[in-house]
Amino acid sequence: MVKEALEERAHLLQSAPHLSGALPIMLPIYKWWQLPYYWIGIKLYDLVAGRQCLKSSYVLTKSRALELFPMLRRDKLVGAIVYYDGQHNDARMNLAIALTAARYGAATANYTEVRHLLKCSDTGRVCGVRCRDVLTGKEFDVRAKCVINATGPFTDSVRKMDDQEVPNICQPSAGVHIVMPGYYSPDNMGLLDPATSDGRVIFFLPWEKMTIAGTTDSPTDVTAHPIPTEEDINFILCEVRNYLGPDVEVRRGDVLAAWSGIRPLVTNPDSKDTQSLSRNHVVTISDSGLITIAGGKWTTYRAMARDTIDAAVREHNLEAGSCRTMGLQLEGAQDWSPTLYIRLVQDYGLESEVAQHLASTYGDKAFEVAKIAQVTGKRWPIVGKRLVSEFPYIEAEVVYGVKEYACTAVDIISRRTRLAFLNVQAADEALPRIVDIMAKELNWSEQKKKEELETAKTFLYYEMGYKVKTDQLTDSSEISLVPADIERYKKRFRMFDKDKKGFITILDVQRVLQSISVQMDENTLHEILNEVDLNKNGQVELNEFLQLMSAIQKGRVSGSRLAVLMKSAEENLRRQAIPVDRSGGGL
C-alpha cells in the first residue's frame, strides 16, 4: 500500500505540477530515544519510495531547527527530523480532473443527484440511474451498460438503492481543520506531531500564505453539510500550543476559518474505533452488477479509478484497452512552467502576487483569465481588480469560474477560489460583488441574487466556522478586565460618545473620523459596528465595547476593526491636542 501511494504521489506531482509540490515537514524531537526511532522509520519511508523519493530526509540540530522554525518551543528540544511530502490544492485538483475528463469526451453534470437505480425487468441487472437536477428540480434518466458508485461518504446510501439488506462497508469519520495567519509557520516548512495527547496526528502547514492546522478524527453521521465544533477547534489549538514557544500566543481569535470534512473509511460495520480503520480502497460488485469503489485517499485517486474501471470491464465485458492515465497531464499542466507568472506580469500588467496565484491555480489556462481581467484605471496594476484587498483573487476569476461549471456563489468562494477556506470574513465581504458578477453572466433575477447571497452567507456561518467565531463574543460574554483597564476603555469610548448617551452610532464614528481627516464609506462603517453590535439594535453600547476589549485581551477575538479604529483615532486626537511650538534654535 505504501509503495503504491508513493508511486501515485509522484504521478500527482507530475500530472499537475501547477497544483502540487513537495513540502518539507519537520518532526520536532523532545526525547533522545525518539531520534533513532523516528529516524529509522522515515529512512525506511525514503527507501520504499526509491526513485520516487521527493528529497532525502535529514536530521537537524536544535539550533538549526529553531533557525528554520523560530516559533518552535525551545524547552527540552533535542533536535528535529525533516522529511518531504506532497501538498496540493484539492478543490482545484478535483476540478482539473473533471475538466480533463470532459476534454477527452466525458459528459459531466454538476449539481446532479441520484434518485434511484434503474434495473432491467428481465434480468434484474442495473442498467442506469434516475437523476435529479438539484438546481431546477428536473428529473431525467441516464441509461448505461455499467453503473459505478463512487460517492464517498454516501457510498452505502447508493448501495442500499440496489439492495436494502446489504451491510454497510463505510464508516464515516469527521476531520476538522482550522486556518490561522501565516505568521504562525515559516513560509516553506510544515510541522507534524505523530503522537498527540490522545494518540492522533496533528499537522501544522503553510498553505496559500496562511497556516492550516488539523486534524481531528471522530465518528460522525453522513451529511452534505458537516459543521466544525468549538470542541474540535480548541483541541487543535491546544495541541498547537504544545509545540510553539511561550512568546507565541496562540489565540482563539486568530482562527480565520474552520471546517469539517468527512472521510469515507472502509470498515467492518461492527467497528467503533475510526482511528484504526483502513484508508485502503476496495472495489465491490453486487449481484445486479453495481460497481462500488469505496475508501482510499486523494493520493491514490488514479489507482482507485484504474482498479474500478478494470473491474467494470471484466464484469460487463466492455471493450477497452489498457489504462493510459499514468503520465497523463491534467488541465492547465501542459505548457505550465515555474516562471509562467512572469509572462502574465509582462504581457498583461498584473500584480506579481496575482500573477503567481493565477499561474499556480490555472496553469497554462491563466492566460485565459488574464485576457478577461478588467482594467483597474491605475498606473499599476494595469488589469486585475481584486475581490478583497488582502487576497490575490480577482473579479475575472468569477467570470472564468462560470465557464468552469460554477453554478452558485458558494462554488466561487470555496471550490473555484479558496477564499472561504482562508478567511470567512473576507469571503463574506466579497460575496455581494461575486453575486453581482455571476448574475450578469447567468442572467439571475433580483430574487435569485438575494437567494444566492443568503445561501452563501449561511454556508460561511455554519460550515466554514463563522458561527463558532462570532460565538466568541456574545451578549452574555464575561467582562474580566482590571479596574484600570475598564477606566481606560471607558475613556476611549467617551471620545466617540460625546453626548454621553451610553452608546455610539455610525454618526458618532463618522464625526471622530472627520476630525482626524479620515474618510470611510457608510457601508463599511455599518459592517464594522455590526461585528460588535451583539443585540443588533444599530448601535454599540458601552457594555458591548467592554465585552469586546475583554475578549481581545483573553485572545478569543482578534482583528476587530472597531477596536483598531477607535485606538487609532484616540492616538490621532492625542497628537492633535499636544501643542508643537518652534524650538529656540538649530536647524
pTM, rounded to two decimals = 0.85
Total count of residues recorded for the chain: 587
| pLDDT at res. 237 | 92
Asked which of 2-11, 37-46, 100-109, 171-180 is least confident by mean pLDDT, the reply is: 2-11
Q: What is the mean pLDDT of the chain?
A: 89
Helix (H) or strand (E) holding 207: strand 202-207
Determine contact, residues 283/308, Cβ cutoff 8 Å: yes
Q: What is the mean pLDDT of residues 164-172?
A: 91
Cα 413 to chain center, whole Å? 10
Torsion (CA) 447, 449, 451, 454 in degrees, nearest 10? -140
In angstroms, the CA 127 to CA 136 distance is: 25
Q: Is the pLDDT of residue 581 over 60?
A: no
Alpha-carbon separation of residue 59 from 25, 33, 63 (angstroms) = 12, 14, 12
User: What percent of the chain clears pLDDT 70, i.e. is strictly above it?
Assistant: 93
| pLDDT at res. 578 | 47
Does the bond joining 215 to the residue before it have cis omega, within 30 degrees of 0?
yes
| pLDDT at res. 410 | 98
Q: Is the pLDDT of residue 562 over 60?
A: yes
Determine contact, residues 397/373, Cβ cutoff 8 Å: no
| pLDDT at res. 275 | 47
In angstroms, the CA 4 to CA 501 distance is: 69
Tens of pLDDT, residues 419-464: 999 999 899 999 999 999 999 999 999 999 999 999 999 999 999 9
Alpha-carbon separation of residue 52 from 41, 314, 334, 489, 556 (angstroms) = 17, 31, 21, 59, 44
Q: What's the pLDDT band for 318 if we cut at 50, 70, 90?
A: very high
> How crowded is residue 78: how many other Cβ atoms within 10 Å of its Cβ?
15
Q: What's the pLDDT band for 485 if we cut at 50, 70, 90?
A: confident
Tens of pLDDT, residues 261-284: 998 888 754 445 544 566 688 999
Q: Is the pLDDT of residue 418 over 90?
A: yes
Q: Is the pLDDT of residue 478 over 90?
A: no
Q: Is the pLDDT of residue 148 over 80?
A: yes
